[in-house]
Amino acid sequence: MRLLMLTFGVLAATALTGRPAAAQNYPWCTNILGFGSENCSYSTYGQCMAALSGNGGFCNRNTQFIPPPGAYSAPVQR
C-alpha cells in the first residue's frame, strides 16, 4: 500500500509541475524514397542533405513551418 501511495504521489507531482508539450517546427523535411516517410526536423538545407547522404531521397521545404516572431525592418519612406 505504501508503494502504491508513493507511486501515486510521484505521478501527481510530475503531472502538476511539468511543462506542456510544445511541437518543434523546422523549415526543412527529408523524404526517403521507398519508405514514404517524412521527417521535418532540420534547420538548414545542409542538415537535411547530410541526413539523406546515401539514403536516396530528397529535401523539401516544410509547408507547415511558421517562423518565430521577430523584429522586422519597416519600409523606408522617401
CB 68 within 8 A of CB 43: no
pTM of the full predicted structure? Answer: 0.57
Q: Is 31 exposed, middle or buried (0-12, 13-18, 19+ CB in 10 A)?
A: middle
Low-confidence winner among 5-9, 37-41, 57-61 (lowest mean pLDDT): 5-9
**What pLDDT, in 10s, does the model give residues 30-43?**
998 877 788 899 99
Does the pLDDT at position 29 exceed 70?
yes
